[in-house]
Amino acid sequence: MDTRLLQTFTALARAGSFTGAAGELQLAQSTVTVQIRTLEKALGTQLFDRLARGALLTEAGRRLLTLAEDVLEAESRLFAAATEDGPVAGTVVVGAGETLCSAHLPDVIVALRGLHPDVEVRLEPCGTTDAVEGLRAGRLDCALLLEEHVAFPDVTAERVAGQPLVLLCAPGHHLAGREQPVTWRELAREDFFLHEQGCSYSDRLAQHLRAVPGAQPRLTRFGSIEATRSCVEAGLGLTVFPHANVAGSLRAGRLTAVPGPSLPDVSVQLARHSRRRPSRAARAVAAQVVRHFDA
């Protein structure tokens, strides 16, 4: 059997539409249609219900999807074994939130270019939900998640580092220079500028603030770390960031740390699909990530 038919089958299962699968595979939609019909004829069963809103797996399709993925994984292992003694090369797609993309992954890529010049790293900025979906769908080879615990089907993760968090304000803010730690009750009366919803450390801080009895904290969420940091540097409120993301602003005196409640480190988790064998290039990227955080 031509395994390209299985690749089209799994792509259509992920995309849920012939148009989406064609875009992912960079094929004409008619080619996807022909390949699915060819596979259904070879297997003697209907894999999808064709509906106005898309293509849905039939019971047989759901049953055969895991087996098809296993065949494709075995094929990947076969080709990987054939090139095990050659140079480490290939494209590795890494998903990570903006916090890690901006502060850490550029250094990882620079180091990799020196060690393995034929490895290309593509960064996909995404939150935990999109990263897990990308791993399951095969769009990502690995992902870095800022989560204390990772418990998702088909995803395994190892903790590679802890990132210390810093409560921050501008030097001219009334809380700057405090000697006594500020309390949660005091913080709940302040303006906060936080990274977007889905950012684990920002969500955790928002939960603490909202848990203060009678509190109505003023929270503004941004999808951009730079926008968040700029508002705080302008003296408009407070924020929380991993130290690595604000080290330059602290050194330059644009931000200052505020003594306050203890904030636990946020864990960096290296996540992968549990049933996919990583390529040599993907293993090289993962090894460099670990070295970076161990340094």
Amino acid identity at 120: E
Q: Which CATH class is domain 3-82?
A: mainly alpha
**Residue 5 predicted with pLDDT over 80:** yes
Average pLDDT (195-211) is 92
Q: Do 3-82 and 165-263 have matching folds?
A: no
Residue 203 Cα distances to 72, 152, 197, 240, 254, angstroms: 38, 19, 6, 10, 24
Task: Name the band, by pLDDT with cuts 50, 70 and 90, for residue 86.
Answer: low
Amino acid identity at 149: H
Closest CA to 72 of 152, 151, 157, 14: 14
pTM of structure: 0.70
Task: Name the band, by pLDDT with cuts 50, 70 and 90, for residue 95.
Answer: very high
Q: Which two tokens stand for residue 54?
A: 């898309």
Tell me the DSSP string of 42-69.
Answer: HHTS--EEEETTEEEE-HHHHHHHHHHH
Task: Name the band, by pLDDT with cuts 50, 70 and 90, for residue 197.
Answer: confident
The pLDDT mean for the chain works out to: 91
The second-level CATH assignment, the architecture, of 90-163+267-294 is 3-Layer(aba) Sandwich (3.40)
Average pLDDT (132-138) is 88
Distance from chain centroid for Cα 31: 32
Q: Which two tokens stand for residue 200?
A: 């684990």
User: Which residue did the predictor score with more confidence, 9 or 78?
Assistant: 9
| Proportion of the chain above pLDDT 90, given as a percent | 72
Average pLDDT (27-53) is 93
Is 165-263 in CATH node 3.40.50.12280? Answer: no
What would the pLDDT profile of 250-264 be if each residue is shown by its tens digit? Answer: 999 999 999 999 999
**Residue 166 predicted with pLDDT over 90:** yes
Residue ranges of domains in the chain: 3-82, 90-163+267-294, 165-263
